[in-house]
Chain A
Amino acid sequence: MSTPGRLEHQLDVTYRYFSHHIRTCTSVVVAMLDVVAEGLTDDSMTAMIMESGYLLDIYDRGMSVCFNHILGKTHETEIEQVDIGHLLELYIKNAVSEETPAEIIHNIEGMHLRCDAYSFKSIFQILCQEGLASAKKQLRINRSGSTLSISPDNGFNEVQQIFEIFAEVLKKSGIIMEFDKTSITLRFTDESIDS
C-alpha cells in the first residue's frame, strides 16, 4: 500500500504525463478541424487527424491502467495471447506519421506473449511512441531470447517518471521492465513467451 505522499506523487506524475499528451493530440485534432472547415485538406492532414485519434485512444487506455494500478482498483485481468509483432505493425500503421524522420527497425515478427493484454498493449505502444519521439534516425526494437529492448539511436530524451509506474503495472504480469537513458528492456518469463 502506498504512503499518502507516494500516492500523491504517483497520481501527480500520471496526471501530468497523460494530460500533456492527451491535450497535445486534442490540439492537433482541433487545429486540423479548422483546416478542414476551410476546405484546405489533403491526405496528409486527414492522416494526422487519424494518427492523433489513435494516440488519444492509447493514452486514454494507458491513463486508466495507471490510475487503476495506483488506486489499487482490482480489475478482471484478461490473460490473452498478444502477437507483439502485429501490435507493433498496428502502431506503425495507425500512429506513425510519414513525416517522422526516424525509422523503426525490429525483429519481433511472430513473437507472442501471454499476459494482461489490455495493460501490455497500451504500455508497449506508449513506450514505442516515447522511443520514436526520441529517435533521430532509427528506433530499434529487438528481441533477444526472452528479452525485448526499445532503443532510440541517440537514447531517450528523458527518463520519464511515468516509466516507474509502467514498470510496476507490468510487474503484475510477470514482465520486468528496466530502463535507463539508452534503452528500455522488457524481460518476460520463459513460459509466457512463444514464437
Chain B
Amino acid sequence: MKVLIADDELRLRKVVSLHLKKSGFDVFEAGNGQQAVDMAKEISPDVIVLDVMMPEKTGLEACAELKGDELFKDTPVILLTAMAESEDIKKGKEAGADEYLTKPFSPKELIDMIKSRF
C-alpha cells in the first residue's frame, strides 16, 4: 500500500516514514503542499498524509485540490495539525479531509488510522 506523507519538517517526515515502512507501507515523501499534489499525480497513493502548515501550498489547499480531482476524491486524506481548535477541524473538513490527527501524535495512532481505512 502506498502512503504519501507531506511535511516541511524533515525530521518528522523521516521518523514517521520509518514507522510506516516498518509497518509494511511503501512511503513517498514530499516537503511542501505543491510537491504533495505533484507527487500524488505521479504515484497515485492509497493514502495521503498532509501537514496543515506547509510552504508553497498549505495542507488544506493541497487537500482541497486533490479532493476536487476525480482521481483522488476517494483517496483518504489525513491532516496532521498543531491546531486542535474546532474552527480548524471545520476548515479541514471543508477541504475534504477524511481524518484529523493533532500533533504531537504517536506513530501508532497514525498507522492504526491508516489501517482502519482499509
Contact = CB atoms under 8 A, between A and B. Distances in A.
Co-assembled chains A and B: yes
A6 to B, nearest CB: 20
Interface in A8-22: 16, 19-22
Contact of A48 (B14, B55, B83): B14
Interface in B37-86: 51, 53, 55-56, 80, 82-83
Given A35-B15, A157-B55, A30 B106 contact: yes
Interface residues of B, number: 27
A34 B16 CA distance: 10
A25 B16 CA distance: 13
Chain A binding surface, main DSSP class: helix
B108 A34 contact: yes
A26 interface: yes
A27 B12 contact: yes
Contact of A19 (B14, B83, B106): B83
Interface string A118-140: 00000000000000011000000
A100 B13 CA distance: 12
A28 interface: yes
B15 A24 contact: no
Interface string B1-38: 00000011111101110110010000000001000000
A157 B16 CA distance: 23
B18 A30 contact: no
16 contacts: A16-B82, A16-B83, A21-B82, A23-B104, A24-B7, A24-B9, A24-B51, A26-B103, A27-B103, A28-B11, A28-B15, A31-B107, A32-B15, A48-B11, A51-B11, A158-B55
Interface of A: 16, 19-24, 26-32, 34-35, 40, 45, 48, 51-52, 97, 99-100, 133-134, 157-158
Query: Closest 5 A-B residue pairs measured CB to CB?
Result: A157-B55, A23-B82, A23-B103, A26-B104, A27-B104
